[in-house]
Structure 1
Amino acid sequence: MKKWLLAIVFGSVLVLGACGGGDDSADKGTDDNADSGTVDSSGAEDIYKSNCSSCHGQDLGGGAGPDLTKVGSDHSADEIVDIIHNGTGSMPAQKQVSDEDAKTLADWLSEKK
């Protein structure tokens, strides 16, 4: 009987320990509130992967499109939004990207310096 009770207690400790209980959102350092001055990096990365990575590479390193690892040193967020919506050079306009997604993506890319 003692072994059974010990197994129940030990199992409960493992389950409760695995649950954590911490607030992971505080650790991410991201916030989609534009007024706070932070960038929603996770959301921007998802938008990038869905719309841009096939040409600009998974790691922003380029491919069919140019390297974007330091695009923020050449373009502001507003300029990047304009490029996304209207295209430039051989890049076509990305009409499927919403204004909100373009802004999120541009804010994130403009930090790449």
Structure 2
Amino acid sequence: MGVTMAIILSACGGGDKNAGNGGEATAMDAEQLVNRSCISCHGENLEGRGNYPALNDVGSRLTEAEILDVIENGRPGMPKGIYKGEDAEKIAEWLAEKK
């Protein structure tokens, strides 16, 4: 499960940009955070790279809470604390939608 958890932290891709529901800003913020810190290991399209798992469908394998745990606490091959608090929560929510 360490590899799966590592995937969660570096997920990135297109967010749900539904105007008028408040989700657009959150999705964009999460996507920007992922693009800044995660794609270098997990791939530009979250397809995975080498030993780093794919994140483009991580929501089908892990719950939002499990993804958040990986982001905040890390796993082998995945450093802990890259993002914390609200930023970590935004990323976990965004990645959980990747199915």
TM (norm. structure 1) is 0.63
Q: Of 78, 84, 94, which residue of structure 1 is paired with 2:71?
A: 84
Q: Which runs of 4+ in 1 moved over 6 A?
A: none
Partner of 1:108: 94
Conserved? CA contact 1:57–1:63, under 8 Å: yes
Q: Which has the larger radius of gyration?
A: 1
Give the distance between the partners of 1:58 and 1:44, measured in 2 at CA.
15
Segment drifting more, 83-92 vs 47-56: 83-92
Describe the shift of the 1:100–1:43 C-alpha distance in structure 2 as closer, same or farther (beyond 3 A). same
Q: Of 18, 21, 25, which residue of structure 2 is paired with 1:29?
A: 18
Shift of the alpha carbon at 1:39?
7.8
Superposed CA offset, 1:14-70 (max 9, x none): xxxxxxxxxxxxxx41525xxxxx882211110101111111111111114211111
How many residues of Structure 1 are paired with residues of Structure 2 in the alignment? 80
Q: Are 1:66 and 2:90 an aligned pair? A: no
- Gapped runs of 5+ residues in structure 2? 1-16
Higher relative contact order, chain-length normalized (CA < 8 Å, sep 6+): 2
Q: CA RMSD in A?
A: 1.9
Task: Return the letter of the residue paired with 1:56.
Answer: H
Higher helix content, 1 or 2: 1
Task: Return the letter of the residue paired with 1:78.
Answer: A
